[in-house]
Amino acid sequence: MRRLLCAILLASASAAYAADWQLVSERLSAGNSVKDYVDTSTLRQGIQSKIRYMRMTKYAPPKQAGGLAYRARRTQETVDCIARTVTLDAVVYFDDDGRPLGELRPSSLPRPIVPKSSADAIRQFVCQSASQR
């Protein structure tokens, strides 16, 4: 997991100039702003209908979870366009200044995507963007 975290952080730092973050979903949750972005430069076709990508979620005001206050989180995810599932491969939390606060070891099990949710909007965007490459 540490290697994966290091790879994500190094890729984020070294490819920051090459990142192409596209706003995909914007919503209010309990009166708070939540915005989801996908870095289209990270779209990678996997086996069959699976696509790997980087996602960034920004919160205003900062979100509290497990004693941690964070402004953003970046996740490496794999979506299955046909099965309509998503798997979290890695999660890193960031403070207001963009410094990493910690990591989460997510379950490697695919989760079903709820229709008409923000995850569904991201799935549609990722699958359509990857098919146009």
Task: Spell out where 81-119 has E strands.
Answer: 85-94, 100-104, 111-112
- pLDDT of 67 reads 81
- pLDDT of 56 reads 96
> What fold characterizes domain 2-131?
Lipocalin (2.40.128)
Instruction: Average the pLDDT over 86-100 and give the result.
Output: 91
**β-strand pairing of 21-29 with 100-104:** unpaired
Q: For the chain, which residues make up each domain, given as ranges?
A: 2-131
10-44 pLDDT, tens digit per residue, is 455 444 557 899 999 999 988 899 999 999 999 99
**β-strand pairing of 32-45 with 50-65:** antiparallel
- The dihedrals phi and psi of 24, each to the nearest 5 degrees, come to -115, -35
Higher pLDDT pick, 47 / 92: 92
- Confidence at 120, pLDDT banded by 50, 70, 90: very high
Residues shown for the chain: 133
Higher pLDDT pick, 72 / 107: 72
Instruction: Average the pLDDT over 118-122 and give the result.
Output: 96
**89, burial (CB in 10 Å: exposed 0-12, middle 13-18, buried 19+):** middle
- pLDDT of 47 reads 85
- Measured CA to CA in angstroms, residue 34 lies from 17, 59, 60, 76, 78 at distances of 24, 5, 7, 18, 21
pTM, full prediction = 0.82
Instruction: Average the pLDDT over 97-121 and give the result.
Output: 90
